[in-house]
């Protein structure tokens, strides 16, 4: 069984991918026999990390063209991962107008909390943070993004905060946030979005089977896969487990050029 395309990969065109390389990622995708790869660089305008900046979209498109010329046996998809695009409608429109993008992810990384802006990866550094309240705020913000009318097709890493869970606050359980997650899924399904199963470079499935089952229940049509690799060595990591999980939740590999699994 061939692996599906990896539709969420970062390269040197993302500010946080110090080990990223578009060329080596293409080589790795060919080695793995992936049918396609999408380079979905960070298009985001918050400043919560040192050195954080949005993709240089013109330079990025040049790199895509160079790789397409060099790796003719690989389907190379262009893309961006929009971060909180509803907070930056003008910047978002500018990036989307810069050229044809095959793949546009919508992501929430940051929330407003305790009077400031906080990336979920920073939750555990914040002493005394009310984790469940922060996670509820995360899902609320995701719902606002989905209903903002902005043009993105994929809902990326729906339960991103669980990657950064804190030992000692009790385990993350989807059931504890079921109403919030279901509301997000309903909004995604009713706006025709695809749910991403993000394998976090082989570390943790975002989301896991409980949420993919809910996705099916609320009428979600399709699932796609992304490793969120920031390093060529991590491409396609966790995909075997992820496809088995998605199939157990009732979706099947479709004869689909984008590599979707459908109900
Ligand atoms: Zn992300
Ligand atoms: Zn990403």
DSSP string for 199-245: -GGGT--BS-HHHHHHHHHTT--EEEEE--BSSGGGTTTTHHHHHHH
CA of 171 relative to ligand 2 center, distance in Å: 24
C-alpha distances in Å from residue 48, one per residue of 32, 44, 88, 149 = 35, 11, 15, 25
Strand partners, 104: 80
- What is the CA(112)–ligand 2 centre distance, in A? 20
Instruction: Quote the ligand 2 centre to 255 CA distance (angstroms).
Output: 26
Q: pLDDT of 125-147, one tens digit each?
A: 888 889 999 999 999 999 999 99
Please tell me the predicted confidence (pLDDT) of residue 192: 97
| 104: three-class secondary structure by DSSP | strand
Q: State residue 84's pLDDT score.
A: 98
- The model's confidence at residue 73, banded by pLDDT at 50, 70 and 90, is very high
Q: What is the mean pLDDT of residues 64-77?
A: 97
Question: Rounded to the nearest whole angstrom, what is the distance from the C-alpha of residue 231 to the centroid of ligand 2?
Answer: 11
Closest ligand relative to 164 C-alpha: 1
1 pLDDT exceeds 80? no
Cα of 161 to ligand 2 centre, how many Å? 13
The residues, ordered by sequence, that sit 6+ positions from 43 with a Cβ below 8 Å of its Cβ are 54, 55, 57, 80, 81, 82, 83, 85, 91, 92, 95
Ligand positioned closest to the Cα atom of 230: 2
Q: Measured in angstroms, how far is the CA atom of residue 155 from the centroid of ligand 2?
A: 11
Distance 70 CA to ligand 2 centre (A): 25
Looking at all shown ligands, the one closest to residue 229's CA atom is 2
Residue 183: pLDDT over 90: yes
pLDDT tens by residue, 15-53: 999 999 999 999 999 999 999 999 999 999 999 999 999
Strands 116-119 and 110-113: antiparallel
- Asked if 188 and 154 touch (Cβ cutoff 8 Å), the reply is no
User: What per-residue confidence (pLDDT) applies to 58?
Assistant: 96
pLDDT tops 90 at residue 257: no
More confident residue, 115 or 242: 242
End-to-end CA distance of the chain: 19
Phi-psi region at 200: left, alpha or beta (left = phi > 0; alpha = psi -120 to 50): left
Cα(158) to centroid(ligand 1), Å: 9
């Amino acid at each position: 069984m061939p692996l599906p395309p990896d539709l969420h990969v970062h390269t040197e065109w993302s500010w946080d991918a110090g080990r990223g390389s578009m060329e080596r990622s293409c080589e790795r995708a060919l080695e793995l026999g992936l049918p396609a790869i999408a380079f979905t660089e960070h298009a985001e305008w918050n400043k919560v990390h040192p050195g954080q900046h949005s993709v240089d979209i013109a330079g990025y498109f040049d790199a895509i063209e160079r790789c397409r010329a060099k790796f003719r046996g690989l389907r190379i998809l262009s893309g961006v991962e929009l971060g909180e695009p509803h907070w930056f409608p003008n910047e978002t429109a500018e990036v989307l107008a810069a050229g044809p993008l095959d793949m546009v992810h919508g992501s929430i990384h940051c929330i407003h909390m305790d009077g400031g802006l906080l990336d979920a990866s920073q939750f555990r550094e914040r002493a005394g943070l009310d984790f469940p309240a922060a996670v509820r705020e995360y899902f609320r913000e995701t719902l606002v993004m989905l209903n903002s009318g902005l043009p993105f097709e994929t809902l990326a890493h729906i339960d991103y905060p669980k990657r950064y869970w804190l030992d000692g606050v009790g385990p993350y359980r989807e059931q504890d946030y079921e109403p919030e997650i279901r509301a997000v899924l309903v909004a995604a399904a009713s706006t025709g979005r695809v749910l991403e199963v993000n394998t976090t470079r082989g570390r943790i499935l975002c989301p896991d089977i409980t949420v993919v089952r809910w996705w099916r229940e609320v009428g979600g049509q399709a699932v796609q896969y992304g490793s969120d690799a920031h390093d060529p060595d991590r491409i396609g990591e966790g995909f075997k487990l992820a496809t088995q999980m998605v199939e157990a939740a009732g979706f099947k590999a479709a004869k689909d050029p984008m590599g979707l699994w459908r109900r």
